[in-house]
Amino acid sequence: MAAPWPPCRRLPHWTVCILAAGYALVQVHDCLSRFLAEPVSSHRDTVFMDQLPTPAITLCNPNLSGYILDRLIFKSNKYLYDLPWDEEGNETIPYLLDVAAVGAKEALENCRLRGRPCSTVGAWSRRLHSSVGDCFTFTPNTSEPIQVGDGYEVTFILPHEVYRTSVETLYVLRGNSFLEVRHDRSNVRLSVFVHPPDEPFSSLPWIQPQEPLYVRPGGQAEVRVTLEDIERVSQRHLPCESRPGYSSARCSLLCHAEAASAATGLDCRVTDMPTTAALCGNFANYSAVQRAFTTAAGAQAAMGECRQRCPRPCRQRRYLAALGSSLGQDETRLRQFSMRIYYGGEPVQLYRELWSYGASALVGEAGGVLGLMLGLSVLSVFEAVSQLVESIVQRVSARAGSAINVLD
């Protein structure tokens, strides 16, 4: 038999041994359950950088959002109902964008990124988002960083074929004539979003929570951009996705688009969805899919599942934009929104999640308790095991020896 553990050789010592072992067990169990709960601590830091990633920008003319649309261009009270669905079919919305904002291409001609014309360093795309309006997104096709103080200079001009302004009134083209639109001049505004270039833009808060910045016409708005760099750890109950190229916004858009199709039984899309299906071809289908996809009530059913299917990314960059001073105010330029969107030199905010009780902390603490209470160490365990093996080997060879003796 192996020698008993040295301190537990005599009866009174057993009491101490049992108490120590019990205490050690409770402590080790406590360490293990703390480790398994995966506690995380967050650290916040700031660094100054002079080379920063180039963001994408989206400018939305809110006067083409659903509610305004039918007031401006179509007389019906029903959203999008009076569009020429019968003649245009699934080309109705592209047709609408053509008639409602002709000249939109010229509207962005005065765009420069790092002093270079935007058209040489990326591309504009246009999409009607029912909640924020007629949106133009510029995606830079370069990974070149930009310097502090550098960025975009953009002038967005409301196309004059559609809008005509005097200081007091705005006129909107309807058919062949201009319609006077009663408006409060302080309300005319352009929404500006600054976002990562490798993620599709969406204004739906359950897909990509971001607040727009509102720029008013007539002046030169200063939009200062700051960057947040976030690193998360993947916990079992709150995993994060570290695959390169993964975008939670893209994943959620697809997930919610699928859910809207399933809920309506219609295999067509609305302009808010960047999927490949054809646009819905009549009002009934279009508005059904629109309700299922763009209203919180419609998307509710899929939210839990989509959040699970599309976890947060482990590494994420977030752009924040704030309106600085606005220079000048030219009362006669009611159709013109000029802005400079640039890094103002604020520090980059770093958010890091770290395990606050990881594997090495577990080994250290549990090992400390076992050593203190039971005298266990890697060496003593190794010694005990090798003694045990040695005594077994001795016994076996002794038995073999006696067997040989019997044979003799």
Ligand X SMILES: *[C@@H]1O[C@H](CO)[C@@H](O)[C@H](O)[C@H]1NC(C)=O
By CB under 6 A, name the binding residues for ligand X.
62-63, 68, 90-91, 94, 119-123, 141-142, 170, 181, 183, 187-188, 266-268, 278-282, 284-285
Residue with Cβ nearer ligand X (254 or 266): 266
How many CA within 13 A on the CB side of residue 194? 26
Question: Least CB distance from residue 232 to ligand X, whole Å?
Answer: 32
289: Cβ–Cβ under 8 A, 6 or more apart, which residues?
260, 261, 264, 266, 268, 269, 270, 280
Question: Least CB distance from residue 118 to ligand X, whole Å?
Answer: 9
Residue with Cβ nearer ligand X (134 or 313): 134
Residue with Cβ nearer ligand X (124 or 319): 124
Question: Least CB distance from residue 241 to ligand X, whole Å?
Answer: 28
Angstrom distance (rounded) from CA 314 to CA 246: 10
Question: Least CB distance from residue 265 to ligand X, whole Å?
Answer: 8
**Each residue of 157-195: b (16+ CB within 10 Å) or e?**
bbbeebbbbeeeebbbbeeeeeeebeeeeeebbbbbbbb
Give SS3 for 52. Answer: strand
Q: Which residues pair with 51 in a beta bridge?
A: 147
Residue with Cβ nearer ligand X (120 or 391): 120
Residue with Cβ nearer ligand X (246 or 272): 272
Question: Least CB distance from residue 313 to ligand X, whole Å?
Answer: 25
Residue with Cβ nearer ligand X (189 or 309): 189
CB atoms within 10 A of CB 131: 16
Angstrom distance (rounded) from CA 283 to CA 266: 13
Question: Least CB distance from residue 121 to ligand X, whole Å?
Answer: 6
Q: How far is CA 104 from the centre of its chain?
A: 29
Q: In this structure, what token pair is assigned to residue 95? A: 């047709």
Q: In this structure, what token pair is assigned to residue 51? A: 């080379």
Q: In this structure, what token pair is assigned to residue 33? A: 């359950």
Question: Least CB distance from residue 360 to ligand X, whole Å?
Answer: 46
Residue with Cβ nearer ligand X (54 or 248): 54
Q: What are phi and psi of 21, to 5 degrees?
A: -65, -40
Residue of 340, 337, 62 whose CA lies nearest to 217: 337
The tokens 């029903």 sit on which residue? Answer: 78
Question: Least CB distance from residue 175 to ligand X, whole Å?
Answer: 17
Angstrom distance (rounded) from CA 294 to CA 297: 9
